[in-house]
Structure 1
Amino acid sequence: MDKKTLLFLFTIFMFAGMCFAGSVPSIILIKSDNSSIEYALSTVRKIVFDEEDAENLSGMRVQFNNSNSDVTSVDTILFQTGTVEIPEIMGEKCNVYVYPNPVSEFLIIEGAAELSEIKICDLNGKVLKTKIVDGKTTKITVSDLSQGLYLMQIGKQVIKFRMK
């Protein structure tokens, strides 16, 4: 995503969070080791997608205001404006499996809730494919996508994958 898109998203989430009494908008980072960290959204300076680290699939990092340290190896970023409990989100994270990654022809999704919508987007946020989950296992043809990084959204979860 470019800087303008991320700034727009932060502005929307900040405004939406102000509409909830006593609620502070936050960002939940789920790292590659499945650990999670929650921060107030107002402390986030920017989210960076490092294309040069695409081979390791750990190219997302979050930079914070007034801090020299970044959070790296981020697999999933969740924005929270309401009162959703973190264990509910983590339960969803642990139940959805996407493979193979990197992929060349088909992505297999297991554990997504039936009738959930799956969206595949480029890093600019443009939706390239959509599919409705129709069973325990869903298969999506991605052989028509060019080589590079993509984001898949399933409910509140965003998963990064790479086309070889």
Structure 2
Amino acid sequence: MIKLLISILLLFTIFSSCNTKNQEKGDLNTILATIDSTDLTPLTNLSIYYVGKGENNTLRYFVNLYQGKCSPYLVDMTKDNLSIAKIDNQFVLKSCHDDYLTKAKIKESVTLYCKLNVYLLQTDEYGNVYINPFQEGPPTMMRISSNDKNPDSSKYSHYKDNWYKIR
């Protein structure tokens, strides 16, 4: 009886882990499809990532130029209706002495980013898209744009269509 119970638990664990992996892959494919069907032009040459909770239980994001040398803007959004609660540029002014993005551009960019359901999203000047969909950290996936005539694919392995996993 104990052997049967252990066997059942072992099989349940195996099936559960496979289901979780398929669910993650399914979620990834949904995220990629959403990105593919979205006009990301407003996000060109930007980097946006979720950093946690901000003041008054808001969601906090960093917004920066892609590979920018200045500090990022800290943007707080309300959880309920995803409206901008605060745009903090104090670190931007300390590092670069001037704003490099307008509040309108930040609002447009973060609002679009929030619809994509990723932790990190970066786009370069060619329109290549770099994402980390499931956790904080560097990009784990890249979509190569047709505008990039010399993509360096040595750091990537093909996932599907024009999407690649970063090695």
Give TM-score scaled by structure 2 length: 0.28
Looking at both structures, which has the greater relative contact order when contacts are Cα pairs under 8 Å and sequence separation is at least 6?
1
Give TM-score scaled by structure 1 length: 0.28
